[in-house]
Structure 1
Amino acid sequence: MSVPPDPPAVRICLADDHTLMRDGLKEVLHTAPGFTVVGEASTGTEAMALVGRLRPDVLLLDVEMPGPHPAETIQQVARIAPETAVLVLTMHDDPHMVQELLEAGASGYLLKSILREELIAAVGSVAHRTSGSVVLIVSRRTVGQLHRQKPRDRKTQLTDRELVLLRLVAEALSNAQIAARLFITEATVKRHLTNVYAKLGAVSRVDALRKATAAGLIGDGRPGHAGPLHGAPP
């Protein structure tokens, strides 16, 4: 009796702008039988091109990279390679971001604090997209907020990080100052602002502050009147 052949390896692409993070992920994934990392990217644009060229089973995607907003990257990947499952891997435990990226088409949302066994199990579960369920490894607080959230319009709902950034804009901080305050790059600040403008239908900082104030998202829009910075570093 012939022995059935081994199933094909799960082909994985990594998208993270930190080389050490990608190296660590490769080390973890290569310990799992049947997994192989076939490509790496350090920006959202590179990730989309990589997926188009390699057609992996899974894309592990960080959200704090140069390039398009991660929701746009996920949507483009779905158009380019609908067979590729996108697993978001991030440090941001933000229920609004979770909902936004799952609505964009992500197959799962994982925190970077997860165990290696959880990462391997998550990749394996979405590799062949055999069910319509998603993989979610976040805090209990975020799970509770997701259950309480109603369906929303992504064009007007800002994430927690975007609200924090907008409140810093209301304090008249420059992009460089905001980047230093939030421990991110200026490119990431600009990407967040572009996304905020798109959601609010704004064309400038002043316009964004005016519309956010009118929507009750922040204070009166004047420096020093932005309201508390919930979630911002001390």
Structure 2
Amino acid sequence: MRDEIRVLLVDDQELVRYGLRLMLDARPGLVVVGEAGDGAEAIDAVARLQPDVVLMDVRMPGVGGIEATRRITELRPDARVLVLTTYDLDDHAFGALSAGASGFLLKDARPDDLVAAIRAVHAGDAVVSPRITARLIEVAAPHLGAHRPGDGRAPDADAALGELTPREREIFLLIGRGATNGEIAASLFLSESTVKANVGRVLSKLHLRNRVEAVIRAYELGVVG
């Protein structure tokens, strides 16, 4: 098993890629294995370089970040795509959600936050911080047919939640609140390996691809909001 997390940088600005490479290569446990200037290059680089995490810009000429994310997650379902987005979190960024992105990071994030986000998505967590969760739901929910708080429980809520055990419902609630595996483990006095196994079952039973979708699903069902 590799000790280092292999990162692919995708951004149409060479200076941005250069800065990210310098910063990430200086961090223990991370190695930048390649760069791409647009989505088409990114798709090819993923096939050749087998990165663990793809740091993906959204707005690029030619094949953009959303389409590249879709193709990459089809090509390599185990690859994690961390989408770089603006402060406003526009509609285009949320297209990456249905394309299989594992999380969203604001472009003005601190270097330590970027490193933590890369490690989090590599470990199977979603990067949906409390700072952006409300905006995520506000923009993404209409496109996903989401239920709005105050309207009562979604019609299929009881049926969906009935698929989960009591423990899995507790974990689903915490996922919906944006908690990481470590935070869930501490809250419920469980090991992280136990939490990870339960998270996998929750995603499988609710037919969700990743934890970002789980946040939206929790909102849809009125579990959080």
- Same fold by TM (over 0.5)? yes
TM range (shorter): 0.5 to 0.7
1:28 deviates by: 1.3
Summarize the Cα distance change of 1:63–1:146 in structure 2 as closer, same or farther, 3 Å threshold. Answer: closer
Give the conservation status (yes or no) of the 8 Å contact 2:85–2:106: yes
1:146 has 2:136 as partner: yes
- What is the letter of the counterpart of residue 128 of structure 2? L
SS in 2 for 1:86: strand
Give the conservation status (yes or no) of the 8 Å contact 1:16–1:43: yes
Which structure 2 segments of 5+ residues have no match? 146-225
1:36 has 2:19 as partner: no
Give the conservation status (yes or no) of the 8 Å contact 2:73–2:99: no
1:124 deviates by: 0.6
1:94 deviates by: 2.0
Summarize the Cα distance change of 1:92–1:63 in structure 2 as closer, same or farther, 3 Å threshold. Answer: farther
Give the conservation status (yes or no) of the 8 Å contact 1:95–1:145: no
SS in 2 for 1:109: strand
Structure 2 Cα separation of the partners of residues 22 and 9 of structure 1: 19
Aligned Cα root-mean-square deviation (Å): 2.3
SS in 2 for 1:126: helix
1:135 has 2:130 as partner: no
Summarize the Cα distance change of 1:148–1:88 in structure 2 as closer, same or farther, 3 Å threshold. Answer: closer
1:91 has 2:86 as partner: yes
Structure 2 Cα separation of the partners of residues 60 and 134 of structure 1: 14
Q: How does 1:55-204 map to 2 (within 5 A)?
A: 55-91=50-86, 93-129=88-124, 133-137=125-129, 140=131, 143-148=133-138, 150-152=141-143
TM-score (norm 2): 0.58
Summarize the Cα distance change of 1:36–1:145 in structure 2 as closer, same or farther, 3 Å threshold. Answer: closer
The CA deviation string for residues 122-160 of structure 1, in whole angstroms up to 9 with x for no partner, is: 00111243xxx420358x4x5333334534269xxxxxx
Which structure 1 segments of 5+ residues have no match? 1-5, 155-234
TM-score (norm 1): 0.56
Structure 1 Cα separation of the partners of residues 128 and 90 of structure 2: 11
| Higher alpha-carbon Rg | 1
Give aligned-pair identity as a percent: 39
Give the conservation status (yes or no) of the 8 Å contact 2:39–2:65: yes
Give the conservation status (yes or no) of the 8 Å contact 2:5–2:29: yes
Aligned residues: 144
SS in 2 for 1:60: strand
1:27 match: 22
Structure 2 Cα separation of the partners of residues 137 and 26 of structure 1: 24
SS in 2 for 1:136: coil
The CA deviation string for residues 17-45 of structure 1, in whole angstroms up to 9 with x for no partner, is: 11110111011111211100001000110
